[in-house]
Amino acid sequence: MTGSTFKRCACRNPETGKQYGQSCPKLTQKRHGLWNVRQELPLREDGTRRTFRRSGYTSKNDAQADLDQIRTLLKIPSTDDAEGRVRIGDLLESVASGKEPIPDYEETKRKFGTGQSLTVHTTVGEWLELWLAGKKRLRKSGKDRYETDIRVHLEPRIGHLRLDRLRVQHLDEMFAGIAETNIEINDANIMRRAAIDELAAIPWKGAESRARRKALKETIAAMPPFRRITGPSTQSHIRATLRAALNDAIAQGYITFNPAQHVELEAAKRPKALVWTEERVEEWIRTGEKPSPVMVWTPEQAGQFLDFIAEDRLYALFHLITYRGLRRGEACGARKQDLNLQAMTLTIATQLVQDGWEVLESDPKTDSGARVVHLDEDTMDALRTHLAKQAADRLSWGEAWQDTGRIFTQENGEWLHPGWLTDYFERLVEASGLPPIRLHDLRHVAASLMLAAGVDVKIVSETLGHSDSRITRDIYQSVLPKVGAEAAEATARMVPRAASSKIARTAGLTSGSHAPAEIIAISGPATLDKEKAQVSG
């Protein structure tokens, strides 16, 4: 079967109006025209001819490489295997029409040898259904458990992926998603339980009480029902189900690698947010270990970070998250049309989310996520400066500028990738020398700052886009050290004490009596000596 590479262009003869094709006199120029591949394929099953064609190669070497790969694939079936030659021809014809990459030789040879379809790609979901249907010896309870794992978790999260392209990263993302869902379920359960307890505390009698009970019942009815989280044992079973299914896929030649055997699971437990106190910073410097996966900067540390990145191109974005607590996707998706410079507000109407590595535009995470965020003067100044710099970038890029209408973009105006932003933030934090936090932890910082400033928790909740202020109190209220100390002193001042109370507590020491052992254990010898001296004096 013949094949070749050739060069052609789209230039037209000014007299006839027809394209020159391969006869253009300019094709002798190195950068004029593009290289093409043409390879005759085995006849179709009905005996008709067909040819593989592909254009757009910038160099002859690239075109020749694909042609060589096509010819290698054509050699997989033996010369007397007419059916096999038709299958390879069908594959290459499908690749040509779909503009897909040339198939991998080893993978194609394996599928060819095991009799699998070369033109239809099995998804994870399709294979799991096929695998479960073939489990004839399983007891009903065992099959039901497999079915639940597949229907509730595996099919919705990874069922769309091609079986031969499933990787460990996909499974890590799946279990991370399960952990996030666990947090949402737990938060919803807490809110529902708190509402039910509040309802139980309202008296039955009285018009006002009846109205309160009715309103609260309606609120409870609108809440999600109590749900169980997907605990560590269930997650292990999900992994085991997938591992067994993929082992059978290996045995039947569909794949050669089982990613489920290389997934490490973490306990689905929400870590407690801790503040980076001096003691914790010193311990982190000494050991390199974070006290908790969720750490919160103090106001001083947040200020040091913003000062460090003051000249960074995305300074205004990190400033906005630190002060107002936007989610990552909300910051990436913020549009210029939603920024009101006069009213000093930013409407959160859309977000950019990461699906695999693809970025998609979507509505806010929840209904309460669609909100109007009020901005302070410092934040407005940062945004105005940022927009002025962005306008200068637009002029410098000229026609290459991508007008996406976003406040924060790449240098050429394209969308900011949320995953890239997370990595970039971590690099900035490392360069600053400050103790590490995640990008999402800036949201904790914002919540803590607002609560420490005395902002009403309901306003904080609305600013963060929470559906209920109880979420704000339960999750994001990381008490800063100074605030906690001030609260302790304020509480102590509420208890009136006599001026001589301290002397009265130690008066027994002046008559030669001995302090009880528990007092010594609490106070220590040095404290007792000091108090003895004060009493004697």
Intra-chain end-to-end CA distance of the chain, in Å: 113
Q: Label residue 293 by pLDDT band (50, 70, 90).
A: confident
Domain 126-262, CATH: 1.10.150
User: C-alpha dihedral over 263, 269, 270, 273, to 10 degrees?
Assistant: -100
Choose among 103, 80, 78: nearest CA to 90. 103
Phi, psi at 27, each rounded to 5°: -65, -15
Helix, strand, coil percent values for the chain (each to nearest 5)? 55, 10, 35
Alpha helices in 252-288 (DSSP H): 278-287
What value does the mean pLDDT take over residues 293-303? Answer: 91
Residue 402 contacts residue 344 (beta carbons within 8 Å)? no
Domain boundaries, the chain: 3-113, 126-262, 274-486, 501-536
Is it true that 126-262 and 274-486 share their CATH fold?
no
Q: Label residue 205 by pLDDT band (50, 70, 90).
A: confident
Q: Label residue 269 by pLDDT band (50, 70, 90).
A: low
What value does the mean pLDDT take over residues 467-472? Answer: 61
pLDDT(318) > 80? yes
Helix (H, G, I), strand (E, B) or coil at 510: coil
Token pair 């997989």 in the structure block, residue? 76
CA distance 343 to 137: 68
Helix or strand run (H / E) with residue 56: strand 51-57
Burial class of residue 216, CB neighbours in 10 A (0-12, 13-18, 19+)? middle
CA distance 291 to 289: 6
CA distance 399 to 65: 35
CA distance 111 to 251: 12
pLDDT(106) > 60? yes
Amino acid at site 525:
P
Q: Which CATH architecture has domain 274-486?
A: Orthogonal Bundle (1.10)
Q: Label residue 388 by pLDDT band (50, 70, 90).
A: very high
Residue 502 contacts residue 527 (beta carbons within 8 Å)? no
How many residues make up the chain in this entry? 537
